[in-house]
Homo-oligomer: A and B are copies of this chain.
Amino acid sequence: MSKIEDKCQQKGVRLTEQRRLIAKVMSQSSDHPDVDELHKRISKIDEKVSIATVYRTVKLFEESGIIEKHDFKGGKARYEQAPDIHHDHLIDVNTGEIVEFINEEIEKLQNEVAAKLGYKLVDHRLELYGIKTKKN
């Protein structure tokens, strides 16, 4: 059973054949696929699953905290399995490649900024867009 299936049980999310399949494909994806890409991967295993179901499921999983949704610049929403430890993303503007990173210092500063402005941080978004540095 995939980790996502596992979480569905915990959260009381009813598992259907389609959801199991979507969970499996998400589990096996180490990148950040959009719904269309996800649907393509799923269709290779079962071409009867509709894209509407993928949309509905992905939304359900997200609302249940099972997967994470990202709206990077320029385009469609992308998804990844909810990680155990939070990370942010650097997007290669040339290739679209996504690199995950963790920086405790920045996280801390964000909280400080919010506090200083009289707010409690409930969410944040940090995305870096870059181009590869030539390595000589």
A123 at the interface (CB under 8 A from B): yes
Closest to A103 in B: B113
Chain A interface bracket (under 10, 10 to 19, 20 to 34, 35 or more): 20 to 34
Residues on B with C-beta less than 8 A from A129 are 121-125
> Least Cβ distance of A40 to chain B in Å?
26
Residues on B with C-beta less than 8 A from A135 are 118
Identical copies in the complex = 2
Query: Which one of A9-17, A21-29, A104-112 is at the B interface?
Result: A104-112
A51 to B90, CA, bound (A): 35
Residues on B with C-beta less than 8 A from A71 are 71, 73
Given contacts A109-B105, A119-B133, A120-B130, contact A114 B90 (CB under 8 A): yes
Q: A residues near B, CB below 8 A?
A: 71, 73, 90, 92-93, 99, 101, 103, 105-106, 109-110, 113-115, 117-133, 135
